[in-house]
Amino acid sequence: MSRDIESLRSKLRLFAEERDWDKFHSPKNLAAALSVEAAELLEHFQWLTESESATLPKETHFEVSDELADVLLYLIRLADKLDIDLVQAAEQKLLKNAEKYPVEKSKGKSTKYTDL
Amino acid sequence: MSRDIESLRSKLRLFAEERDWDKFHSPKNLAAALSVEAAELLEHFQWLTESESATLPKETHFEVSDELADVLLYLIRLADKLDIDLVQAAEQKLLKNAEKYPVEKSKGKSTKYTDL
Amino acid sequence: MSRDIESLRSKLRLFAEERDWDKFHSPKNLAAALSVEAAELLEHFQWLTESESATLPKETHFEVSDELADVLLYLIRLADKLDIDLVQAAEQKLLKNAEKYPVEKSKGKSTKYTDL
Amino acid sequence: MSRDIESLRSKLRLFAEERDWDKFHSPKNLAAALSVEAAELLEHFQWLTESESATLPKETHFEVSDELADVLLYLIRLADKLDIDLVQAAEQKLLKNAEKYPVEKSKGKSTKYTDL
């Protein structure tokens, strides 16, 4: 478990406990909240061209940074509730993706892949 | 920057570079992909009761772990493209949330809050 | 084509034309916007119990009605851009679903189905 | 109420009743399912350029049509559960949007608007 993620996890636990929010934090509800935050992130980009999306004005960049943070926080909270080690899961997924998308067959093609 | 996240970031960079996928990875596209992955995660929970969502069968738990990994990977990739330090952004957001939801006013109430 | 949907479609065309918004309304962008609106709808329900979600306070009910409207409007606009007859597509999908989920095999089970 | 939408609504009611699925169809669950379907729609577009998204290959066009149908079906089902007239809500939202985005101030600008 990453030390930084572990630290955020502890803070989120305390945060929820102090506010008696644990009762709202079922995995189902947290998955919905995570999805809502991901959409709030997407909202910033929906009318931009791809090229505009790479050169955000300072204020938008700050707001986007905030939305990324929200997604990470819900992700950590949900992983905590499900007892999942996020970093380990990501390492394993990367290995799986390397097998699924061999370099020579995937080069330059976006078709037929939906994951990283 | 967290060492584990930095390591995943480097692997994702190499992964995209080897496959010539960088051209697909505009922030706009990555934000859409992140949102799609978050919905795939939610899909596992949509017909479950909250209580069922806390006690997933082993196979579902494994699939959910895979979806969490996908969300984290796109999150890291998007933060990389936008030059955002995820952990730092999350730490700052937590401080902001602590101000926004003071313990005494937020206790046990889900109304009027949409963030952690 | 449903007469009501046709009427909304015409109004949306005029709306976009008058504002010179057609250039933003690529199917890709409209699909992102639709997804964002669906998440805004979900946001109203994320911390509610299922039973609370069926008995919304009057004000929430009104806001939810507004979000449903947004989803329908983007749906009609996107279908227009792709030259798809929404009602006909829905009729066909219902027939397909009836085959996919035969009554005797699907009765009372949510597992293994993700569509209506 | 539009006659076509009313007809789809009746068919969806019967569909759920026959399969004893009504118990899964709380507004909360339907809103999650709608959001998941909207993301499945978006998935088809996530790596396409805006221009590619306007000229889909025949097979993709058919799959996209199916996803649009899914969104409409859940939308009608959710509106039914909440006793909302979709077409009427959309008509009202259009009037509201016309006030919110006056032609002269909105012309050609995507900034600061997030609705149609």
State pLDDT tens for residues C32-65: 999 999 999 999 999 999 999 999 999 999 999 9
The pLDDT of D9-20, averaged and rounded, is: 97
Of B32, B39, B47, the CB nearest to D24: B47
Distance CA C55, CA C44 (A): 12
Of C43, C113, C114, the CB nearest to B114: C43
D113, pLDDT greater than 60: no
D116, pLDDT greater than 80: no
Predicted complex: ipTM over 0.90: yes
Instruction: For residues A65 and A113, state if they share a domain.
Output: no
**3 state SS of C112:** coil
Please check whether residue A107 is in contact with residue B21, taking contact to mean a CB–CB distance below 8 angstroms. Answer: no
Distance CA C2, CA C4 (A): 6
Distance CA D68, CA D43 (A): 12
Dihedral sign, CA of C103, C107, C113, D2?
positive
pLDDT of residue A1: 66
| Chain A residues near residue D49 by CB distance under 8 angstroms | 50
Instruction: For residues B52 and B80, state if they share a domain.
Output: yes
Subunits adjacent to chain C (3 or more Cβ pairs under 8 Å): A, B, D
The pLDDT of A61-87, averaged and rounded, is: 98
pLDDT of residue C18: 96
pLDDT of residue D84: 98
pLDDT of residue A2: 82
Write the pLDDT tens digit of every residue in A83-114.
Answer: 999 999 999 999 999 999 999 898 988 765 54
Question: Which stretches in chain B have pLDDT values below 70?
Answer: 1, 111-116
CATH number at residue C66: 1.10.287.1080
Name which of A64, C33, A36, B79 is nearest D110 in CA terms. C33
Instruction: For residues A80 and A114, state if they share a domain.
Output: no
Instruction: For residues B20 and B72, state if they share a domain.
Output: yes
Tell me how many residue pairs between chain C and chain D have CB atoms under 8 A apart. Answer: 230
Report the interhelical angle of B58-81 vs B27-43 (nearest 10°).
170
State in Å, rounded, how far the first CA of chain B is from the last one.
Answer: 22
Name which of D39, D30, A40 is nearest B114 in CA terms. A40
Instruction: For residues A16 and A69, state if they share a domain.
Output: yes
Contact D50/A49, CB-based, under 8 Å? yes
| Chain C residues near residue D24 by CB distance under 8 angstroms | 110
Residues from D in contact with A at Cβ < 8 Å = 32, 35, 39, 43, 46-50, 110-111, 114
Structure tokens at D110: 């995507």
Total of domains in chain D: 2
For the entire predicted model, the pTM comes to 0.95
Q: Is D57 left (phi over 0), alpha (psi -120 to 50) or beta?
A: beta
Of B47, B49, B110, the CB nearest to C47: B110
Residues from A in contact with C at Cβ < 8 Å = 24, 29, 32-33, 35-36, 38-40, 42-43, 45-47
pLDDT of residue C70: 98
Instruction: For residues D17 and D37, state if they share a domain.
Output: yes
Of A76, A108, A114, the CB nearest to B20: A108
Distance CA D57, CA A14 (A): 51
Distance CA B41, CA D96 (A): 34
pLDDT of residue B29: 98
Query: What domain range includes position A90?
Result: 85-116
D2, pLDDT greater than 90: no
pLDDT of residue C111: 61
Distances (CA, A) of D25 to B111, C50, C75, D12, D115: 23, 9, 22, 11, 28
Measured in whole angstroms, the distance separating CA B98 from the mean position of its chain's CA atoms is: 20
Instruction: For residues A54 and A107, state if they share a domain.
Output: no
**3 state SS of A13:** helix
Instruction: For residues D61 and D106, state if they share a domain.
Output: no
Contact C36/A39, CB-based, under 8 Å? yes
Write the pLDDT tens digit of every residue in C78-113.
Answer: 999 999 999 999 999 999 999 999 998 889 887 655
What DSSP state is assigned to residue C22? Answer: G
